[in-house]
Amino acid sequence: TQTGAGTAREREAPARAADRDPGGRTDEELKALAEQAGRDLEEASPLEILRWAADTFGNRFCVTSSMEDAVVAHLASRAMPGVDVVFLDTGYHFPETIGTRDAVAEVMDVNVITLTPRQSVAEQDAEYGPKLHDRDPDLCCALRKVKPLEQGLSSYAAWATGLRRDESPTRANTPVVGWDEKRRKVKVSPIARWTQDDVDAYVAEHGVITNLLLMDGYPSIGCAPCTRRVAEGEDARAGRWAGRNKTECGLHG
Ligand code: SF4
């Protein structure tokens, strides 16, 4: 995994691995810890959940953000100022998404880390042919999202996401803290119990940075070739991979 050009505040993830406390816990201990915390913190507020994660994992904890909004990054920066916020730059993002990333790096007390896939879009096109996203979106997501994230998370014991139970049936059982068996990491979803109204209220109360596309008919934002506007009354995620028999990128499966 390489880092993108990005802002001066970005740092290369692997360079920080050496100064992290390895914690000394085995995977089995981490798994038990996560499952217990999931039960104990089910009724806790997002901030309490993130404070637990910060206290438990310190520098081995990060937030991942798609830069749809900076709600979880904002919450995490209150729990742990300077927290690592990991962003995957697939090479296919809308300019507004990159702008959101840059604004977050500029104004928030977080350390934005940009991960990029092994191949540029041009290199991928040369090897697999153009528009792989139209022909085999699962492979495209595997190459441009799943693999780089796996590598980028390797030095962390726990990561936080913005998953919410009300987003889709596949996310209805998301624990606030759980065990990500695929990556063997603790996965923290502090706003799992929030609704869109809760998110909107937090954004309004704290003036949180949001992606401009949210105000332009895109309630869920992914890569440009795989995201379209949704019509009034349509499901928020209906604009993701529309017509391609795909609803998730594989990061959360
Ligand atoms: Fe490729 Fe689309 Fe997946 Fe982005 S969302 S990685 S463009 S298939």
In the chain, at which residue ranges do the beta strands (DSSP E only) sit? 2-3, 61-64, 83-88, 110-116, 158-160, 177-180, 185-188
Q: Name every protein residue with a CB atom under 6 angstroms from any ligand 1 atom.
A: 90, 92, 133, 137, 140-141, 144-145, 222-223, 225-226, 249
Average pLDDT over residues 109-130: 97
Query: Which atom number of ligand 1 is nearest to the Cα of residue 143?
Result: 6
For residue 151, CA distances in Å to 53, 128, 191, 245 come to 21, 22, 25, 27
Q: Which CATH architecture has domain 2-216?
A: 3-Layer(aba) Sandwich (3.40)
Domain ranges of the chain: 2-216
Binding-site residues? 140-141, 223, 226
By annotation, the residues acting in catalysis are 249
Binding residues for [4Fe-4S] cluster, as ranges, are: 140-141, 223, 226
Q: Are 253 and 138 in contact (CB under 8 A)?
A: no
Q: How far is CA 60 from CA 22, 170, 242, in A?
A: 8, 28, 36
Helix, strand, coil tally for the chain in percent (to 5): 45, 15, 40
Nearest atom of ligand 1 to the alpha carbon of 133:
8
- Give the position, in ligand 1's atom list, of the atom nearest the Cα of 137: 8
Give 214-233 pLDDT, tens digit per residue: 999 898 899 999 999 988 88
Q: What pLDDT, in 10s, does the model give residues 11-69?
A: 444 434 333 345 678 889 999 999 999 999 999 999 999 999 999 999 999 999 999 99
Predicted TM-score (pTM) above 0.90? no
ipTM higher than the 0.85 cut: yes
Ligand 1 centroid vs 181 CA: distance in angstroms? 23
Chain segment 57-76, per-residue pLDDT in tens: 999 999 999 999 999 999 99
